[in-house]
Amino acid sequence: MESAEIRRRFLNFFAERGHTVVPSASLLLNDPTLLFVNAGMVPFKPYFLGEAVPPYKRATSVQKVVRTLDIEEVGKTTRHASFFQMCGNFSFGDYFKEGAIPFAWDLLTTSTHEGGYGFPEDKLWVTVYEDDDEAAGMWQELVGLPADRIQRRGMVDNFWSMGVPGPCGPCSEIYYDRGPDYGREGGPVADEDRYLEVWNLVFMQSIRGEGPGKEGFPILGDLPNKNIDTGLGLERMAAILQGVDNIYEIDTTRGILDRAAELSGTAYGTAEGSDVALRVVADHARTCAFLIGDGVIPGNEGRGYVLRRITRRVISKMRELGAHEPTMGELIDTAIAQMAPQYPELNDQHVRIRQVAVGEESAFLQTLRTGSAIFDTAVASVRTNGGSTLSGEQAFALHDTYGFPIDLTLELAAE
């Protein structure tokens, strides 16, 4: 099933059940706690907190999301992306667990010719928060899930917040068993590669305060209403429904990956190192197009720095893969061609997005030419002195005097 169809089915399913279809918000929202929208619920946060009155009781959306905390994992695992799309259904003081659980189950298990995703019921597992007997009971009573496919987990896994003070609540996650080829028996608590998380249902009912990590914060009280916030990763769903191993090989992203392979002259599937690099390029080129499209300009801090870092990673990987000429323009063209059918604003912004990306590429290639020479000299002097570690002073000089980015120095030094 194509990505566009997965998205269409999600929105239709919830529209038919009284949800207003809300278009994706920009990646840049005015929330001082966030650089980028990092979850489908972010645009609705004021409704959960009771700071604004929602114009609807039920909503559904496919929201653009950027998460860069795990950027080093992109391409190495089957499921990390810096940009992805989150399909969600939301209730603002309307239905709660008793509504969200059967909705999710029906959409997943209804056959594909009847408009669902066609998952076999016996391949689905769920987790619930450790003391959430209510949700565990509903999974059995409302949809008939056997008790031995419901597992309980603590705060770290089954309590969701934005990572900062704000709305939060216990959650229940739905997992798809990909089978013994992918790992151990025993449900999601045993192996999250075999049991792939596909949908997170958050029972948004509390407010959290400051505190580290996923459990080191106080619960300050209740939200004015009991709400629902769910998130189903479109790319993960596509990987399952298209029968590919990872999210970089799904229809849309694969197009960018193949273009990167053509432009660099390195075929996909020849070696693990170059495969990782091609996956990074496919993921990051798409992220660049969306960030620039939403108004980010490369810079040295904040959002601009994230964009700069991502763009530069694309360029470095393409060089590593064997590209000698600039490739950013072509990669952006391909990313836009793949994504514009669902995000027509990319077409309207195409010329500007391309210009910004190509401009950053030429500036960086110039920096690389100067910086690489200085880097090589620094490495040679370390070696002459019998050492194997570039000093902090040398790394700083590369950055401060020559604009050579520290992450690149780290990568080159490790090599």
Binding residues (CB under 6 A) for ligand SER: these are 39-41, 88, 160, 200, 202, 229-231
DSSP secondary structure, 98-164, as one string: HHHHHHHHHHHHS-GGGTS----GGGEEEEEETT-HHHHHHHHHTT---GGGEEEE-HHHHEEE-SS
Whether the CB-CB separation of 66 and 36 falls below 8 Å is answered with yes
In whole angstroms, how close is the CB of 326 to ligand SER at the nearest point?
Answer: 36
| Per-residue exposure over 123-150, b if at least 16 CB sit within 10 Å of its own CB, e if not | bbbbbbbeebeebbebbeeebebeeebb
Residue whose CB is less far from ligand SER, 199 or 375: 199
| Per-residue exposure over 64-94, b if at least 16 CB sit within 10 Å of its own CB, e if not | bbbbbeebeebbeebbbbbbbbbbbbbbbbb
Nearest-CA neighbor of 259 among 350, 311, 327, 309?
A: 327
In whole angstroms, how close is the CB of 269 to ligand SER at the nearest point?
Answer: 32
In whole angstroms, how close is the CB of 158 to ligand SER at the nearest point?
Answer: 11
Q: Which two tokens stand for residue 225?
A: 């209403």
In whole angstroms, how close is the CB of 200 to ligand SER at the nearest point?
Answer: 4
Whether the CB-CB separation of 71 and 82 falls below 8 Å is answered with yes
Residue whose CB is less far from ligand SER, 200 or 274: 200
Residue whose CB is less far from ligand SER, 69 or 297: 69
In whole angstroms, how close is the CB of 89 to ligand SER at the nearest point?
Answer: 9
Spatial distance between the Cα atoms of 269 and 259, rounded to a whole number of angstroms = 14
Residue whose CB is less far from ligand SER, 44 or 343: 44
Residue whose CB is less far from ligand SER, 160 or 364: 160
Whether the CB-CB separation of 196 and 187 falls below 8 Å is answered with no
In whole angstroms, how close is the CB of 400 to ligand SER at the nearest point?
Answer: 38
Residue whose CB is less far from ligand SER, 171 or 336: 171
